[in-house]
A and B are shown apart, each in its own frame.
Chain A
Amino acid sequence: MNDIEQRIGESLRARAALVTEDSLRVPVPAPARPTRRYWPALAAAGFVVLAAAGIGLSLGSPDATVAPPATSSATPPPSSSSAPTTTSTTTSAPATSTQPQTAPPTTPVICGRAPCKVVQTVRLGPDVIELLAAPSTLYAPQLEAPEIRVNGGPLLKNKPKHDAFVDNGSLRCSTVAGRSVCLLHTWYLGDSDTSYGLVKDGSGWRYTGAAFPTPYGNFAIDVRDLGGDRKLEVVAVEQQTFSGPGEGMFTATVWRWDGTRIGCSPRVAAKEQLPGWPKVAPDPATLDNANCVSG
């Protein structure tokens, strides 16, 4: 290390040393007693624990490497479910199971820099939609570099940020106002959670290009037709992390399907108080950007 490098280190350490525990605004909280600003997040964490146990969600440990699309990828697999949407977090790859056992070894599909695993499988009508990702090399067991594959076909193009993380609950699909749609929920270290829209049209499934950011995560996010006018909206239940005395903590954020935000519902103290909970459907006339969690 030469002289200037040494001086750089000394100056940076001198600057950093000015920051002491006593100089910080927010004191270190006592155990189990968070700072005022973040008590809603702690309450949410507690709720999440109970709720997750109640609905039996579990994070799988995908370990099946995904093979490239079968040559007959355009042919949807037979639907054996009567429900419009089913989801599976099996670690096997349904599409690959249709390939002949005698097929020669092939190069695995790559998610980012590593072979893809099937993270989640969702069946919507005749389509089997797979969320693929690769285990993070740095942050296992996080799964990163998500890709979407439909009926064993090629990976969808125009995917979101390559290094986003996903899990086995990230892909949510439904039929709304006669249209087949999905939301892919992703997040990134220290950065905003973001959901991305997918839609099926005449040419198949594709990303719409719309993004729905929820900076501190969300308790629910769904595609809706709020006005019954066959125009799609996305509704997310978010929690305010900053709030003044008497202010409610929860709001429903509503975006148009193209990603433009319409506004947020008036804040309430508990998410169960949001109109229509758990299928939240705020009155469009009440939406205001001033109620939103982020600017």
Chain B
Amino acid sequence: MEKMTLPGVRAEPGGSIGDLYREQRLGLVRLAVLLLGDKQAAEDAVQDVFASLWSRRFHPDRDAYLRVAVVNRCRSHLRHRVRARNRHTPGDVPGPAPDERLALAEEHRQMLAAIDRLPGRQREVVVLRYYAELSLTEIAATLGIRTGTVKSTAARALTALRRFLEEEN
């Protein structure tokens, strides 16, 4: 039962996975940083996604494929992180490193700290909506949820953020 071809799979339509990696890595790491709050983990998540593409000889021709893969890898990472801590807390994200905090304006620090307190799903929706600037439909497809759920989650996230910011001030 030897399984030589791992699933996927279609020949590379043009350009190599290496090219794709060079083109997309920085943007995907940035997205992963916002989801994980940890640059090292974000790099690992993106590396894992590309390693997976290599092993399958699969060359995605849509950014959405990579985005979903990175979001899922980040979720997987967060699950492991929570499991390792043996507890579940909303906003289980470390946030920027101290040197990075210093590089941010105070208003951004406050906002990012508030975003870090959001539960995982709300944080994902906020990042995909306001950073990646995806439509509601695209967010729904990325997260595998209904558009209505995206709307309600975004609304709850905004309410929570306003409350967190008021508490800060």
Residues of A within 8 A of B (CB): 4-5, 7-21, 23-26, 28-29, 31-32, 34-35, 37-38, 41-42, 44-45, 47-49, 51-52, 54-55, 57, 59, 138-139, 141-142, 163, 165-167, 169-170, 172, 174, 183, 185, 187-193, 216-223, 241, 278
Contact = CB atoms under 8 A, between A and B. Distances in A.
A278 B4 CA distance: 11
B58 to A, nearest CB: 9
Interface string B31-54: 101100001101101011111101
B131 A12 contact: yes
Interface of B: 1-10, 16, 18-19, 21-22, 25-26, 29-31, 33-34, 39-40, 42-43, 45, 47-52, 54-57, 60, 62, 64-65, 68-73, 76, 96, 100, 103-105, 107-108, 111-112, 115, 126-127, 130-131, 133, 141, 144, 158, 161-162, 165
A52 to B, nearest CB: 4
Most A C-beta atoms less than 10 A away, residue of B50, B51, B162: B51
A9 B154 CA distance: 13
Contacts of A141: 10
Given A7-B111, A10-B108, A19 B33 contact: yes
B111 to A, nearest CB: 4
Given A44-B55, A138-B64, A220 B1 contact: yes
Main secondary structure of the interface of A (DSSP, over half): mixed
B72 A190 contact: yes
B interface majority secondary structure: helix
Nearest to B113: A11
B52 to A, nearest CB: 7
A115 B125 CA distance: 30
26 contacts: A4-B161, A7-B107, A12-B130, A28-B22, A29-B21, A31-B16, A38-B50, A41-B51, A48-B6, A141-B10, A165-B7, A169-B7, A174-B1, A185-B3, A187-B56, A189-B68, A190-B45, A190-B52, A191-B72, A218-B3, A219-B2, A219-B3, A220-B2, A221-B1, A221-B3, A241-B51
A216 B52 contact: yes
A189 B72 contact: yes
Nearest to A138: B141
Given A14-B105, A24-B43, A222-B1, A38 B54 contact: yes
A268 to B, nearest CB: 17
Given A16-B30, A24-B43, A138-B64, A9 B130 contact: yes
